[in-house]
């Protein structure tokens, strides 16, 4: 049906009525045109779409008056393997591994599954026990008034906050973005004497790095062990950075007699100090774990050695890649549970190996 009528030689705009519009929609539906905004535009029925907007207000109202069957919209289905527990497990695994949890940087299948099972990505993050604001790529936009209000609230809640911590806080980042510097933001908010600045106590003498030889103490091995035990008994830190700051003679003696702080700590019965994870350390830990007969499944490593699990993801990319690199024969190890079966099957597929026939033997 043409939406225009002719009066003489000049066409005029047709005056649609609700009955005419409903009849036109039924005819279009009978011809196979879907009554949606996109399909009506594609079929060249923009005037019908405009009449719907003027007279009926929405496509849904138009379909209801025309008594058309309910419109079925095909949405991409979420893989059946996802569930609420699996979504939460994957979110926590990415958090432990130090991977981004911003909605724009997670795998699409994980984001879609979270929306399907929880309603929104934010709800899934919060149900996993994490702070949604901390996962965003950029802090939420704030006005200058909001920044001032949040700075005053933060000053009341955390009066001992340091300036360095405020600079990395979400409110501090927003303040610098709005005002250009923390000083201007604090002045505009009417805040003084906050946050605190870390200053060295004027009564504490600064330890000089270059002292005359006559002022240095030369400790024997026994004296070094005794001084280290005394520091530990007094509750003072026996970390390398602390001793280098307030007792450099002891630290020099440790290097001279023991070679490293970890060897000295073991000599007096203390656990080794923290060591940075390297590729060599990760591979060594994995080899020791494999020789001890422990499970190499990602779930087992995450449960029993979370620090090693995080280091694997940072240094080698994934547990599968790490096992393939340091334990070439891992696929022939005894299989104790179904999760490890699946891990070994995936490992064999990546290496181009054929699966075994029949069920795997259980150790």
Query: Residues 214-253: pLDDT tens digits?
Result: 677 888 888 988 988 888 888 888 777 778 778 888 888 8
Q: Are 172 and 166 in contact (CB under 8 A)?
A: yes
Query: Considering only CA atoms, which of 61, 69, 73, 72 is closest in space to residue 30?
Result: 69
Tell me what pLDDT residue 42 has: 79
Report how far Cα 262 is from the mean position of its chain's Cα atoms: 33
Largest Cα separation within the chain, whole Å, is 117
Across 317-355, b (16+ Cβ under 10 Å) vs e yields eebbebbbebbeebbebebeeeebeebbeebeeeeeeee
d(CA 328, CA 343): 14
Antiparallel, parallel or unpaired: β 10-13 and 4-7:
antiparallel
The answer, yes or no, to whether residue 273 has pLDDT greater than 80, is no
Query: Of 214 and 61, which is predicted with more confidence?
Result: 61
Q: Which two tokens stand for residue 156?
A: 């009341």
| Mean pLDDT across 279-304 | 81
Tell me what pLDDT residue 359 has: 39
Query: Considering only CA atoms, which of 249, 271, 269, 272 is closest in space to residue 260?
Result: 272
pTM of the complete model beyond 0.75 = no
Tell me what pLDDT residue 348 has: 64
The answer, yes or no, to whether residue 202 has pLDDT greater than 70, is no
Tell me what pLDDT residue 280 has: 83
CB-based contacts of 71: which residues, under 8 Å, 6+ apart?
A: 34, 35, 36, 63
Query: Of 76 and 168, which is predicted with more confidence?
Result: 168
The answer, yes or no, to whether residue 78 has pLDDT greater than 50, is no
Tell me what pLDDT residue 233 has: 86
Q: Are 296 and 290 in contact (CB under 8 A)?
A: yes
Tell me what pLDDT residue 352 has: 65
Question: SS3 of 4, please?
Answer: strand
Prior bond to 57 cis, omega within 30? no
Question: SS3 of 272, please?
Answer: coil
Tell me what pLDDT residue 1 has: 47
Query: Considering only CA atoms, which of 29, 103, 13, 100 is closest in space to residue 62?
Result: 29
Region of poorest pLDDT, from 18-32, 171-185, 334-348: 334-348
The answer, yes or no, to whether residue 152 has pLDDT greater than 50, is yes
d(CA 63, CA 69): 8
The answer, yes or no, to whether residue 185 has pLDDT greater than 80, is yes
d(CA 260, CA 231): 17
Query: Considering only CA atoms, which of 75, 72, 51, 47 is closest in space to residue 62?
Result: 51
pLDDT band, residue 68 (cuts 50/70/90): confident
d(CA 82, CA 310): 23
From the CB of residue 28, how many other CB atoms can be counted at a distance below 10 Å? 20
Region of poorest pLDDT, from 17-21, 148-152, 319-323: 319-323
Percent of the chain with pLDDT over 70: 76
The answer, yes or no, to whether residue 302 has pLDDT greater than 70, is yes
Tell me what pLDDT residue 282 has: 85
Tell me what pLDDT residue 74 has: 53
d(CA 149, CA 265): 49
The answer, yes or no, to whether residue 169 has pLDDT greater than 60, is yes
The answer, yes or no, to whether residue 361 has pLDDT greater than 80, is no
The answer, yes or no, to whether residue 171 has pLDDT greater than 80, is yes
């Amino acid at each position: 049906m043409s939406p225009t009528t002719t009066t003489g030689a000049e066409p005029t705009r047709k005056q649609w009525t609700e009955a005419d519009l409903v009849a036109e929609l039924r005819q279009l539906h009978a011809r196979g045109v879907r009554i949606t905004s996109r399909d009506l535009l594609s079929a060249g029925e923009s005037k019908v779409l405009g009449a719907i907007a003027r007279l009926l207000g929405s496509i849904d109202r138009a379909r209801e008056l025309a008594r058309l069957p309910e419109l079925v919209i095909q949405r991409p289905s979420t893989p059946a393997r996802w569930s609420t527990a699996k979504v939460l497990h994957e979110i926590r695994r990415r958090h432990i591994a130090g991977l981004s949890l911003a909605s724009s940087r997670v795998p699409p299948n994980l984001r879609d599954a979270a929306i399907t099972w929880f309603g929104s990505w934010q709800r899934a993050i919060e149900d996993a026990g994490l702070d949604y604001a901390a996962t965003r790529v950029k802090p939420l936009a704030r006005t200058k008034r909001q920044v001032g209000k949040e700075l005053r609230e933060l000053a009341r809640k955390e009066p001992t906050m340091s300036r360095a911590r405020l600079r990395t806080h979400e409110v501090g980042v927003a303040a610098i973005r709005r005002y250009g510097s923390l000083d201007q933001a604090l002045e505009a908010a009417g805040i003084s004497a906050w946050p605190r600045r870390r200053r060295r106590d004027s009564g504490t003498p600064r330890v000089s790095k270059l002292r005359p030889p006559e002022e240095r103490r030369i400790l024997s091995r026994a004296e070094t062990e005794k001084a280290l035990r005394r520091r530990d008994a007094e509750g003072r830190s026996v970390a390398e950075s602390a001793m280098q700051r307030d007792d450099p003679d002891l630290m020099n003696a440790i290097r001279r007699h023991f070679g490293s702080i970890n060897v000295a700590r073991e000599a007096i019965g203390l656990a080794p100090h923290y060591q940075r994870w390297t590729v060599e350390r990760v591979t060594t830990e994995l080899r020791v774990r494999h020789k001890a007969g422990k499970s190499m499944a990602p779930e087992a490593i995450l449960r029993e050695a979370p620090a090693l699990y995080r280091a694997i993801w940072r240094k080698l990319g994934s547990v599968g890649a790490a096992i393939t690199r340091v334990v070439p024969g891992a696929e022939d190890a005894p299989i104790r549970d179904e999760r490890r079966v699946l891990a070994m099957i995936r490992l064999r597929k990546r290496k181009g190996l054929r699966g075994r026939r029949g069920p795997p033997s259980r150790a």
